[in-house]
């Protein structure tokens, strides 16, 4: 059977995360329901990245096997007519039957947005964390540098994580301003539960003068969640894109 990949964008506000949960409304659940209506099949979706409740995505990947006669590149059009407006298939395509989005060499890019002004702009309230205190971008940039590379990120993951290996490689962490927004962009080969949100919360803490940039070194060495800063709210986080370095492809 052909294996089809769906490049999926969504507003995570109304969803209890991306991964399927039988008793909750999730992105994957909505995709499965639409696929059932389109093909009559109970497909097994494989998601590339599990996003938390309230987290958004411009490019999350889902693959499934199907015996349907629908051409792989037409699934996007058909599904978009059945899905709610806060979920869209940006592109659909056939991939190799052995392709697994979590078992290949990928680089993910996340952005975390902070609305840094006295008053929260209403249209931004679902897509940025409101921080009314001053943020020193240079301090945040200096701190971000220490997070780059391969480290044990135990201090930067939720204590409820079930993943035994906490070593991850962060390719880059950038901090910059776009008008009233402070944007934290993190690229890496894989992330732990809440890792990017804890990075964002920690950088914001240092940006407002609580701690020094060099404190990141001690946080990493501590391997203790209480050593790092707070977990930033989910709504400021967005999964931006996937890159496949071996294939020279970016999605």
Q: What angle do CA 51, 52, 56 make, to 5 degrees?
A: 60
Q: Are 93 and 72 in contact (CB under 8 A)?
A: yes
Q: Which long-range contacts (CB under 8 A, 24 or more apart) does 147-150 make?
A: 147/173, 147/199, 147/216, 147/220, 148/172, 148/173
Active-site position among 52, 65, 152, 246: 52
Query: Any binding-site annotation on 77?
Result: no
- C-alpha span between 114 and 124 (Å, rounded): 10
Which residues is 130 bridged to in the sheet?
115
Q: Known catalytic residue: 52? A: yes
Q: For the chain, state the CA radius of gyration.
A: 19
Residue positions in the annotated binding site for substrate? 110
> Among all residues, which ones are annotated catalytic?
52
């Amino acid at each position: 059977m052909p294996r089809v990949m769906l490049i999926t964008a969504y507003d995570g506000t109304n969803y209890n995360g991306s991964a399927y949960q039988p008793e909750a409304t999730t992105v994957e659940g909505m995709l499965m329901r639409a696929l059932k209506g389109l093909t009559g099949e109970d497909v097994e979706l494989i998601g590339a990245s599990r996003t938390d409740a309230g987290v958004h995505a411009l490019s999350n990947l889902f693959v499934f096997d199907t015996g349907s006669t629908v051409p792989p590149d037409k699934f996007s059009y058909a599904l978009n007519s059945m899905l709610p407006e806060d979920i869209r298939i940006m592109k659909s395509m056939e991939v190799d039957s052995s392709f697994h989005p979590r078992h290949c060499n990928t680089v993910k890019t996340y952005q975390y947005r902070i609305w840094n002004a006295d008053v929260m702009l209403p249209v931004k309230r679902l897509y940025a964390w409101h921080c009314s205190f001053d943020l020193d971008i240079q301090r945040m940039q200096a701190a971000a540098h220490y997070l780059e590379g391969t480290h044990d990120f135990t201090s930067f993951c939720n204590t409820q994580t079930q993943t035994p290996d906490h070593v991850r490689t962060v390719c880059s962490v950038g901090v910059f301003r776009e008008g009233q927004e402070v944007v934290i962009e993190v690229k890496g080969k894989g992330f732990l539960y809440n890792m990017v949100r804890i990075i964002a919360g920690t950088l914001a803490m240092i940006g407002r003068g609580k701690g020094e940039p060099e404190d990141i070194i001690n946080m990493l060495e501590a391997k203790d969640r209480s050593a790092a800063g707070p977990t930033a709210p989910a709504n400021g986080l967005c999964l931006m894109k996937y890159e496949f370095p071996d294939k020279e492809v970016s999605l």
